[in-house]
Amino acid sequence: MVKMCGKIYIIGIGPGSSEYLTKKAVDTVKASDYTVGSTRAIELFDDVQNTIAFNVKELVDTLKKGVQLAYDGNTVSILSTGDPGFSGVLNTVLRLSGEIGFPKESIEVIPGISSLQLAAARCHIQWDNANVMTFHGRENIEEILPVINNGKTTIALPSRKVKDMAQFLLDNGVEPTRKVVVCERLSYPDERIVEATLNDIATSEFTYMCIMVIY
Ligand SMILES: C[S@@+](CC[C@H](N)C(=O)[O-])C[C@H]1O[C@@H](n2cnc3c(N)ncnc32)[C@H](O)[C@@H]1O
């Protein structure tokens, strides 16, 4: 007998404020049997059926549960902050689906506005000409060094505290007077855009929710 699987939507929810949610995201969640995401992400939706919230520690197990529900015939929306394909859950969901045997043709990605895009917009940067880098959840910070002096603006998701990332750049010979803009908690009421020198950023405190723009 042929197994009838359901459908998985991997949905980008934008940087955080409901103003940046797409209509496609709202309509898809509304029509889904289950919606999987962080509490913060789920709270953005008014019309949602069964919800499965996760925190970072249990992320993979919860995503697996979502894929299994789709394998069993349900329509499942999986929420990812910003865009799912930029340091989001896309690859993890694809891997888990492969392990469970859920067909890739039944997975649809619905893009969202990335925090990177909103940072570029706030700073009036045409980002097709920027070094776009993510160090989130990775140990690849050295990869910034070959590009940091290539004449382009660098927009980066930090891997660690912003001030530690700034210190890393200083320790590796980047000019202390280099202009940096930190875009913190973009789209939230307490959004902060801080412009300073690299030296000053290395002694400043920020939350983990930041994009660094290095000019
Ligand atoms: C797991 S990554 C997800 C990135 C997401 N897929 C995107 O496209 O924006 C989480 C990191 O994205 C950045 N981030 C997400 N939302 C943000 C916001 N509203 N303001 C600033 N940075 C944000 C922060 O660096 C945060 O640590």
In a domain, 26, yes or no: yes
Atom nearest to 136 CA in ligand 1 = 2
Residue 138 is predicted with a pLDDT of: 79
Distance between Cα 132 and ligand 1 center (Å): 13
- The DSSP bridge partners found for residue 194 are 182
- Segment 64-71 shows an average pLDDT of 97
Looking at the predicted structure, is the pLDDT value of residue 191 above 90?
A: yes
Please write the tens of the pLDDT for every residue from 74-103.
999 999 999 999 999 999 999 999 999 999
Instruction: Say yes or no: CB of residue 153 within 6 Å of ligand 1.
Output: no
Name the residue of 11, 59, 87, 185 whose CB sits within 8 Å of the most ligand 1 atoms, as the mutation to test its pocket: 87
Of all residues in the chain, what percent carry a pLDDT higher than 70? Answer: 99
Name the residue at shortest CA distance from atom 16 of ligand 1.
Answer: 15
pLDDT confidence bin for 1, thresholds 50/70/90: low
74 and 128 fall within a common domain:
no
Residue span of the structural domain in which 159 resides: 115-214
83 and 174 fall within a common domain:
no
63 and 140 fall within a common domain:
no
In a domain, 2, yes or no: no
57 and 27 fall within a common domain:
yes
Per mean pLDDT, which range of 29-43, 44-58, 109-123, 170-184 is the poorest? 44-58
Other Cβ atoms closer than 10 A to 169: 23
Instruction: Say yes or no: CB of residue 183 within 6 Å of ligand 1.
Output: yes
Single pTM value for the model: 0.94
103 and 130 fall within a common domain:
no
Looking at the predicted structure, is the pLDDT value of residue 3 above 80?
A: no
Atom nearest to 115 CA in ligand 1 = 9
- Segment 25-50 shows an average pLDDT of 96
Distance between Cα 76 and ligand 1 center (Å): 23
Instruction: Say yes or no: CB of residue 186 within 6 Å of ligand 1.
Output: yes
In a domain, 1, yes or no: no
Average pLDDT, the chain: 95
Instruction: Say yes or no: CB of residue 211 within 6 Å of ligand 1.
Output: yes
Residue 100 is predicted with a pLDDT of: 96
pLDDT confidence bin for 19, thresholds 50/70/90: very high
- Segment 157-174 shows an average pLDDT of 94
Number of domains in the chain: 2
Residue 190 is predicted with a pLDDT of: 98
pLDDT confidence bin for 2, thresholds 50/70/90: low
Instruction: Say yes or no: CB of residue 88 within 6 Å of ligand 1.
Output: yes
Q: What is the CATH number of the domain that holds 94?
A: 3.40.1010.10
Looking at the predicted structure, is the pLDDT value of residue 196 above 90?
A: yes
Instruction: Say yes or no: CB of residue 81 within 6 Å of ligand 1.
Output: yes
140 and 105 fall within a common domain:
no
12 and 64 fall within a common domain:
yes
Q: Of 61, 91, 110, which marks where a domain is finished? A: 110
Instruction: Say yes or no: CB of residue 62 within 6 Å of ligand 1.
Output: no
Other Cβ atoms closer than 10 A to 81: 22
Residue 13 is predicted with a pLDDT of: 98
100 and 180 fall within a common domain:
no
- The whole-angstrom separation of Cα 202 and Cα 177 is 11
Distance between Cα 15 and ligand 1 center (Å): 7
141 and 210 fall within a common domain:
yes
Question: Residue 41 to residues 36, 77, 185: CA-CA distances in angstroms?
Answer: 9, 12, 14
Q: Of 110, 128, 147, which marks where a domain is finished? A: 110
